[in-house]
Amino acid sequence: MKIVFFGTPEFAVHTLEKLLNHSEFEVLAVVTQPDKRRERGNKLMPSPVKVIATAHNLPVWQPERVKKDTETLTQLKQSDADVFVVVAYGQILSSKILNMPKLGCINVHGSILPKYRGAAPIQWCLYNGERETGITTMLMDAGMDTGPMLQIATTPIGLLDNAQDIANRLAVIGGDLLVETLLKLERQEIQPIPQDNLAASYAPLIQKQDYGLDWSKSAIELHNQIRGFYPNCTATFRNNLLKITASAPLGSVGNPDLPPELQELVDKLSDLSNVSDRPGVVVSIAKGIGAIIQTGEGLLLLREVQLAGKRPQAGWDFVNGTHLTVGEVFGAGS
C-alpha cells in the first residue's frame, strides 16, 4: 500500500515509524509543518516528524498553506498514493486533497469520537475529568473530525495522569490501530460507521487565559486543569508567577485512584478539609511531599511546581527552598 504521511509533532512519530517498519506499506513522502524558530538561540528547528522522515531519506514537503501550494498539490496528485494518513498535521485539508488517494484520507484522532473533535482532544478530556479516552481512526471529510469512524481503541485515565502521559500512551495505541485499520481497509473488512453529531463535543485550541488557576474552584477542578493543560498552569506566589505542574486532590472521602502514600495523607488530614474560608491559603505542609492548599471545595496537594526561570521541582523541595509556612497565600494565575 502506497502512503503519503501528514504529521508534525512527537505524537505522530510512532505512527510514522510503524508504517516505515511494516513490509506491507511504502511511505512515498511526508508532509509536515514548516521549520519553526525556537526561543533559545532563535534557530530554525524541524518538526519531530521531519527528523524521522529525513533519517529515512524520504521526500519532505513543508508548504505554508497546503491547500494553496500549487507545487505540493501537484506532488500529491502525482504520487498516485493509495491513501493519505493524517496524524496531528496542523492544517486543514481541502476537498481536493481529500479526494486524491484511492482509499481516501485516514485520520488518527486522539479521542473516542464523536466526543472531543478538534485541535486539543487530550487536554480537554482531562480538563473535564473523563475516566477513559482512546484513539479513533476515521475517513476524513470536509468537516472538523466529522468523517465516518473506522476503528476505536480505548484506554483508562488514572487520577494522576497528565496530558503528556496520555499523549505518550495514545501515540503508541494510535500507531498500532492505524496499521490494523489500513490492513482491514485494504481487505474490505471494515464498514465505516457515521458519527452521531448529536453526541459530539469539541476541543478547541487552548488559549493563554485557560492556564490561570482560580483557587475558588474545587480541588478536583483545579487538579484536572493542571494535568489537562500540563505543564503551563499558573498561580502567583509572593507576587511572582509560579507554574504548578503536578497536584493531587485531597478530601475526607477515600479515593481508590490515589496511591497508598497519598491515601494515608488524606486519612491524616481528614479534619483539615475546608479549615479556611480563604481559597489559596496553605493549610498544612506534608513532610517529604509538599504544601496543601485550601480551595473552594477540598484541599489540593502541590506535588510539583516551577518557579520562573527555574526547572520544575518537587513540592517538598519548593517548600524547603522558599521556607514556605502555613498561612501563606497563593494568588490566582493569569
Give the C-alpha distances (Å, rounded to integers) separating 35 from 38, 45, 240.
10, 5, 33
Would you say 110 and 11 are in contact if contact means Cβ atoms under 8 Å apart? yes
pLDDT (tens digit, 9 = 90+) per residue, 91-134?
A: 999 999 999 999 999 999 999 999 999 999 999 999 999 999 99
Distance from C-alpha of 86 to C-alpha of 47, rounded to nearest angstrom: 15
Would you say 290 and 299 are in contact if contact means Cβ atoms under 8 Å apart? no
Would you say 247 and 265 are in contact if contact means Cβ atoms under 8 Å apart? no
Collect all residues with Cβ–Cβ distance below 8 Å to 75 and sequence separation of at least 6. Answer: 29, 59, 61
Output the pTM of the full model: 0.93
pLDDT (tens digit, 9 = 90+) per residue, 144-160?
A: 999 999 999 999 999 99
pLDDT (tens digit, 9 = 90+) per residue, 269-303?
A: 665 555 667 999 999 999 899 999 999 988 999 99
Tell whether the model's pLDDT for residue 251 goes beyond 60.
yes
pLDDT (tens digit, 9 = 90+) per residue, 9-40?
A: 999 999 999 999 999 999 999 999 999 987 66
Collect all residues with Cβ–Cβ distance below 8 Å to 307 and sequence separation of at least 6. Answer: 240, 242, 243, 313, 318
- Better-predicted residue by pLDDT, 273 or 203: 203
Distance from C-alpha of 58 to C-alpha of 39, rounded to nearest angstrom: 28
Band (250; pLDDT cuts 50, 70, 90): confident
Length of the chain: 334
Band (184; pLDDT cuts 50, 70, 90): very high
In what helix (H) or strand (E) does residue 45 lie, and over which residues does it extend? strand 44-45
Distance from C-alpha of 46 to C-alpha of 41, rounded to nearest angstrom: 14
Band (139; pLDDT cuts 50, 70, 90): very high
Collect all residues with Cβ–Cβ distance below 8 Å to 302 and sequence separation of at least 6. Answer: 244, 246, 247, 290, 291, 292, 293, 315, 318
Band (70; pLDDT cuts 50, 70, 90): very high
CB atoms within 10 A of CB 28: 16
- pLDDT on residue 262: 83
| Phi then psi dihedrals of residue 315, to 5 deg | -55, -40
- pLDDT on residue 253: 46
What's the mean pLDDT when you consider all of the chain? 93
What's the rounded mean pLDDT across residues 164-187? Answer: 97
First to last CA, the chain: 49
- pLDDT on residue 254: 46
- Please calculate the CA angle 299-305-308 and round it to the nearest 5 degrees: 135
In which residue are the cell numbers 478539609 written? Answer: 273
The amino acid occupying position 25 is F
Would you say 11 and 88 are in contact if contact means Cβ atoms under 8 Å apart? yes
Would you say 282 and 248 are in contact if contact means Cβ atoms under 8 Å apart? no
CB atoms within 10 A of CB 57: 7
